[in-house]
Chains A and B, each alone.
Chain A
Amino acid sequence: MSSRRRRCKRQLIKFTQHIARLISGTLKSDNEDEELESTTERYQPENLEQLQSQTHFSRQELQLLYRGFKNECPSGVVNEDTFKNIYALFFPMGDSAKYAYFLFNAFDKDQNGSLSFEELVCDLSVLLRGTTQEKLNWAFNLYDIDKDGHITKEEMFDILKSIYDLMGKSIHPRLKEEKMDINQDGVVTIDEFIDSCQKDENIMQSLKIFDNAV
């Protein structure tokens, strides 16, 4: 009863405000202007030497990467929506939202909702110039959606589904988790993951193909 009264009151107040605005003749656009001042987040990366020491990239490569990055994101950070849009451009035929979301979480180490250049470039150096151990580590991190150290069947299925979604068709992905789950306890830990991957020659080979991406 009281909620109804409250709602009634709110409506009444809005109505009187509306009438007041009508009489005084304020333009609607005046109110909307205030919302336009968005909080512009600006972020500057660490200096070049530090990044050079943290990653395996050369100075020129870092310069190139940052110039492209800054062109695209002048504010210095990538938020999830931009990430999703970019991925949608790369994979236009399918639905890349889910995969972009997982990827974003994998990149975003401190889970603050935005990617800075350092996070991106550090991960990039791992993926492109790191050891296979590091790469598999990263892949495990990607698959482990809730970051609890275990990959459950559901997480695996979700990841696979999102990857297959990039194709655009709804395919029932083939689960390889059973193969990886050595002690058959329903989850895959990082050691099991790395072990089973290292045994597979195909996987080892394919981890190297993007080494010249920059």
Chain B
Amino acid sequence: MAGGVAAWLPFARAAAIGWMPVASAPMPLPPRDKRRSQDGLIILNVSGSRFQTWRNTLERYPDTLLGSTERDFFFHEETNEYFFDRDPDIFRHILNFYRTGKLHYPRHECISAYDEELAFFGIIPEIIGDCCYEEYKDRRRENAERIQDDAENENNNDMVVPSLSFRETMWRAFENPHTSTMALVFYYVTGFFIAVSVMANVVETVPCGTASNRVKELSCGERYALAFFCLDTACVMIFTVEYLLRLIAAPSRYKFVKSVMSVIDVVAIMPYYIGLVMTDNEDVSGAFVTLRVFRVFRIFKFSRHSAGLRILGYTLKSCASELGFLLFSLTMAIIIFATVMFYAEKGSSSSKFTSIPAAFWYTIVTMTTLGYGDMVPKTIMGKIFGSICSLSGVLVIALPVPVIVSNFSRIYHQSQRAEKRRAQKASKEAGQSLVCKANPIFDTDHHHLLHCLEKTTNHEFVDEQTYETSCMEVSGMKQSMSCSSSSSSSPHGLTCCSRRNKRKSFNVPNSNMTGIRRGSIQELSTIHIRERPQSNSRSSLNAKFEETVPLNSEEQPYITAAVISMPTPPVTTPEGGDSSCSTDFLRSNIVRVSAL
């Protein structure tokens, strides 16, 4: 029951006196008088803003932080108030929840900040009132999508796995042409040949002037048949080679064969082979001619090269329901108007409207405001209905179009945003590395902790140099790795502090926070604290695979079980074994040492 209704309980109980004279059984004893504590004011000091409320108000929701004894942890004796080091603006809304029973979401607040505050104060977001719930859910979904986008992009672009097999390298080359120059060359060559092939298809139908002994005008294709055939053969050979290479390199051949691009590839090259196989059999050559139409599907191969085309395709897919509705409503309108026009024009002589299906053509042409003029109503009724038809056509078509447009716009902007974020990442990292300042108190304590660990295990942390060099060579192969950024931030580390600082800079990027991955040492305190709970979970250990694979593969013979009980041996296959680098790092360091 909401806290507010509890205010009516005394009235309801008092009114129960009315049952007494007619009660058929004696009444149960009333509950013992609970802590009839004096209803006092509580002062809540949130980062300097003082909020005051009745004690009873807070205790309406005893399973939240403020309503339970948990708040005693924040009691500040000297000022006799409860102090919270949180955001006062958002706290305002949380306190209003206690007062009114309704939680609102302010639109101008960042969704993650709001979520954090709610989590801190123990309030589940599901109780957000109806007025704000939709907005909240939308923003949350948007944020999740954005983070997921980021994660995917990072995965795609930054996955530095140097010792991939040749097959994987090939597949990566096919999927991301930017990864190596060979891939780029291949990309451009195939693009060029797609263009050439499509142009050849187009040009070979152009009339090229008559040959000397013929009456009919020849098309270019017939005139220069051999040339076009050679061109076609070359293109098809390139496409076949490309398709076979993709097929070999695909990690899951079955999935690859089922995919749309593969189907397009096959359809693009099949006509040629069928043409080769077929002889000049008159019966089938007619069918063969129609098969050549499928050669035009080669143009769809461009969608691998153009993100815009992909977006368009994706938009159409996501607007399938709107398109379906458009189609359905158009069909309905067409049938109605065609019938009406047919019967209206039935009377007139020499009418083109010979049947209702024949009238379909007129209706479509009129509704889409094309107006070819090959079929025209002659009677007055026909003209009236024809005009109504054209007016309504504009409406029916114009209505679903904005929905499709807005969908396209949203998806397009999303992809633009991803591109922008990628471009901004460089400047963001530069900014963050400027901001990073070591927290000196934290540093000394951290150093001391590591020192204690050394003493415990009677080994020493050494070899940052070797670690760094191995990191460098790894990062040399594939840029964009946390190691390189950390080595870029390590000069800061070196200037800031002792060698141990560099170790921290390695730890930082290897945290599982995708957003803050790159070297902000200042964020270490937050990251590090967050890392601990995360590194406990197996899932986070397996979440991201970093570049420590080469190290681990080197150190495989050095692993001793005695030093650390490793939760999962990190030396699984390069694809499979993921682990957070920090634990890896420590492990790898200690592992190294044990070999010394």
Contacts and interface: CB of A to CB of B under 8 A. Distances in A.
A176 B17 contact: no
B26 A205 contact: yes
Interface in A193-208: 193, 197, 202-203, 205-207
B7 A69 contact: yes
B39 A90 contact: no
B23 A206 contact: yes
B18 A142 contact: yes
B4 A72 contact: yes
Interface string B7-46: 1111111111111111110110110010000010000000
Interface string A3-39: 0000000000000000000000000000000000000
A156 to B, nearest CB: 8
Contacts of A87: 12
A207 B17 contact: yes
Contact of B21 (A65, A120, A139): A139
Bin chain B's interface residue count: 20 to 34
Interface string A163-180: 100000000011010000
Main DSSP-derived SS at the A contact region: helix
B27 A206 contact: yes
B406 to A, nearest CB: 24
Contacts of B7: 65, 67-69, 71-72
Contact of B22 (A64, A124, A160): A160
A99 to B, nearest CB: 9
Nearest to B6: A68
B36 to A, nearest CB: 9
A1 interface: no
A207 B54 CA distance: 32
Between B10, B13, B29, the greatest number of chain A beta carbons within 10 A of the residue's beta carbon is seen for B10
A159 B17 contact: no
Contacts of A159: 22
Given A65-B10, A206-B20, A206-B23, A103 B30 contact: no
B4 A71 contact: yes
Between B16, B18, B29, the greatest number of chain A beta carbons within 10 A of the residue's beta carbon is seen for B18
Interface in B340-371: none
B5 interface: yes
B211 interface: no
A89 B18 contact: no
A139 B17 contact: yes
A210 B21 contact: no
Given A68-B8, A72-B4, A89-B1, A210 B22 contact: no
A212 B10 CA distance: 9
Contacts of B6: 68
B8 A90 contact: yes
A209 B1 contact: no
Given A176-B22, A206-B23, A212-B33, A138 B17 contact: yes
Contacts of A127: 14-15, 17
B30 A212 contact: yes
A209 B18 contact: no
Contact of B5 (A89, A210, A213): A89
A128 B4 contact: no
B28 to A, nearest CB: 8
Contacts of A197: 21
B13 A213 contact: yes
A55 to B, nearest CB: 12
Between B4, B11, B27, the greatest number of chain A beta carbons within 10 A of the residue's beta carbon is seen for B11
Interface string A68-111: 11011000000000000011011000000000000100100000
A128 B33 contact: no
A136 B13 CA distance: 16
Contacts of A124: 10-11, 14
Contacts of A72: 4-5, 7-8
Contacts of B15: 103, 127
Contact of A139 (B8, B20, B33): B20
Contacts of A68: 4, 6-8
B10 A139 contact: no
B10 A209 contact: no
B26 A210 contact: no
A48 interface: no
30 contacts: A65-B10, A67-B54, A68-B4, A86-B8, A89-B1, A103-B15, A120-B11, A127-B14, A127-B15, A127-B17, A138-B17, A139-B17, A143-B18, A156-B22, A173-B22, A176-B21, A176-B22, A193-B21, A203-B21, A206-B20, A206-B26, A207-B17, A209-B29, A209-B30, A210-B16, A210-B17, A210-B30, A213-B13, A213-B14, A214-B10
Given A106-B18, A128-B14, A138-B17, 19 more contacts: A60-B39, A68-B4, A68-B7, A68-B8, A69-B7, A72-B4, A86-B12, A124-B10, A128-B10, A136-B21, A159-B22, A163-B19, A202-B26, A203-B20, A207-B20, A210-B30, A212-B30, A213-B9, A214-B10
List 3 tightest A-B contacts by C-beta distance, closest first: A68-B7, A127-B14, A206-B27
Interface of A: 60, 64-65, 67-69, 71-72, 86-87, 89-90, 103, 106, 120, 123-124, 127-128, 135-136, 138-139, 142-143, 156, 159-160, 163, 173-174, 176, 193, 197, 202-203, 205-207, 209-210, 212-214
Interface of B: 1, 4-24, 26-27, 29-30, 33, 39, 54
